[in-house]
Amino acid sequence: MSIQDKIREQVKGHRVVLYMKGTPQFPQCGFSATATEILKRCGVDEFFSVNVLADPDLRQGIKEYANWPTVPQLYVDGEFVGGCDIMREMYQSGELQQVLGAKKPA
């Protein structure tokens, strides 16, 4: 399976996916720590997280998949939502809570 196929499978196979540096328990970058914290504050305790530091090919692959050069990256229902800045803005405006709370359309 190609890296792009693997990423597609990950983001389509889980409702909420966070590509990050480190793990939710031990983030290894301030932006990834913030992203994790925002998800928790939105009431999302369970999400699929991927530590890109553990997989250089994946780390490069996600940049191409979303045309987005930085980490973290949040996906909800298979759609790329944004990085840390966008998560913070959407959290402050309440949009992120809506996106995370909305049921996946049938």
Partner 1 sequence: MHDTPPVTPESIRASLAEGLHCDVVEVRGDGHHFEALIVSREFDGLNRVRRHQLVYAALGDRMRQEIHALSMRTLSPAEWAAGQGR
Q: Which residues of the chain form contacts with partner 1 (CB under 8 A)?
A: 30-31, 67-70, 80-86, 89-90
Nearer Cβ to partner 1 (73/106): 73
Query: What's the closest the beta carbon of residue 45 comes to partner 1, in angstroms?
Result: 25
Check if the beta carbon of residue 62 is closer than 8 Å to that of residue 71: yes
Nearer Cβ to partner 1 (4/93): 93
Query: What's the closest the beta carbon of residue 85 comes to partner 1, in angstroms?
Result: 5
Query: What's the closest the beta carbon of residue 9 comes to partner 1, in angstroms?
Result: 21
- Determine the Cα–Cα distance for residues 59 and 22; give it in Å rounded to an integer: 12
